[in-house]
């Protein structure tokens, strides 16, 4: 492992610890609110209490956005892009949640949810580019292979999965850009290196969940796993991109 890689890994570890500490900071309500929203959604998924999910899940991303915005001042344009991302993600959450959640077999609702998330990915990707992130060859190739494999698997089930395959390509592109983060974007932005892949994992679990038997222990475990990975990815994407934007804005 090169010195540069070791240094970045150390920075990433410290930034992740700092993010956890921010969540535990009871002096500010945003962190505990995020944890409460995630915890309530986990319980709802594990117990099947739909009312609790409807109360908690739509609060996850707004709480993450508040955490991202409280860390420091952003320009009006950066704030607008970050807020548009959060609004699109929350819309996607509501669309999927009201349609049977992760267990839904409805392709149309899944496509509608993916479209909402796609809008958020485009807004966030625009902010990343605006903040100086650029695609790196290795990350691009790896994510290209992932997108191609996932797309081929979806299309093998039927051409009606084409919108989902396209969404997977968009998410892989966002993840490739996020994982291209380096020291020039500031220490706090280093969390983007894990944010994109975790989001990919979350969406992969959603597809896997649709094949599980409803109400089974496996289905409930996967449901909770989807929430854990999604909430983690959303938090790190929003806070990491905001940090990169602040670093870019502080340059002369």
Residue among 242, 228, 151, 139 at smallest CA distance from 188: 242
Q: How many domains does the chain have?
A: 1
Which residues lie closer than 8 Å to 16 by C-beta, 6 or more apart?
A: 191, 194
pLDDT score at 109? 86
pLDDT score at 6? 85
Which range has the worst mean pLDDT, 55-69, 94-108, 186-200?
Answer: 94-108
Residue 15, pLDDT above cutoff 90: yes
Which two three-digit tokens encode residue 225?
Answer: 């796993």
Q: How confident is the model at residue 71 (pLDDT cuts 50, 70, 90)?
A: confident
The mean predicted confidence, pLDDT, of the chain is 92
pLDDT score at 105? 57
Residue among 26, 17, 44 at smallest CA distance from 191: 17
pTM: 0.94
Domain range spanning residue 209?
3-250
pLDDT score at 167? 96
Q: Quick count: other Cβ atoms within 10 Å of Cβ 183?
A: 12
Residue 102, pLDDT above cutoff 60: no
Question: For the chain, what is the radius of gyration of the CA atoms?
Answer: 18
CB hemisphere CA count around 159 (13 angstroms):
0
Scanning 98-216, the segments in alpha helix (DSSP H) are: 107-130, 137-156, 162-178, 192-209
Which range has the worst mean pLDDT, 18-32, 34-48, 92-106?
Answer: 92-106
Give per-residue burial for 97-107: e unless 16+ CB within 10 Å, then b: bebebbbbeee
pLDDT score at 1? 64
3-state helix, strand, coil in the chain (%, to 5): 85, 0, 15
Which residues lie closer than 8 Å to 197 by C-beta, 6 or more apart?
A: 175, 179
Phi, psi of 151 (to 5 degrees): -65, -45
Q: Across residues 73-102, what is the average pLDDT?
A: 90
């Amino acid at each position: 492992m090169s010195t540069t890689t070791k240094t970045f890994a150390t920075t990433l570890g410290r930034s992740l610890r700092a993010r956890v500490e921010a969540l535990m900071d009871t002096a500010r309500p945003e962190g505990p609110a995020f944890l409460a929203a995630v915890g309530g959604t986990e319980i709802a998924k594990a117990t099947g209490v739909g009312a609790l999910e409807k109360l908690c899940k739509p609060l996850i991303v707004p709480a993450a956005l508040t955490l991202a915005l409280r860390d420091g001042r952003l320009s009006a344009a950066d704030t607008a892009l970050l807020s548009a991302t959060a609004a699109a993600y929350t819309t996607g959450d509501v669309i999927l949640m009201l349609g049977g959640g992760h267990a839904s077999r409805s392709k149309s609702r899944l496509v509608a949810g993916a479209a909402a998330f796609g809008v958020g990915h485009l807004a966030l990707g625009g902010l990343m580019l605006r903040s100086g992130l650029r695609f790196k060859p290795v990350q691009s190739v790896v994510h290209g292979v992932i997108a191609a494999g996932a797309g081929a698997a979806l299309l093998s089930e039927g051409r009606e999965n084409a919108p989902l395959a396209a969404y997977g390509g968009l998410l892989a592109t966002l993840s490739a850009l996020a994982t291209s983060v380096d020291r020039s974007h500031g220490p706090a932005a280093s969390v983007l290196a894990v944010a994109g892949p975790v989001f990919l994992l979350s969406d992969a679990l959603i597809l896997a969940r649709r094949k599980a038997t409803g109400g089974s222990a496996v289905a409930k475990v996967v449901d909770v796993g989807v929430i854990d990975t999604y909430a983690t990815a959303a938090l790190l994407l929003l806070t990491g991109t905001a940090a990169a934007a602040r670093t870019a804005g502080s340059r002369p």
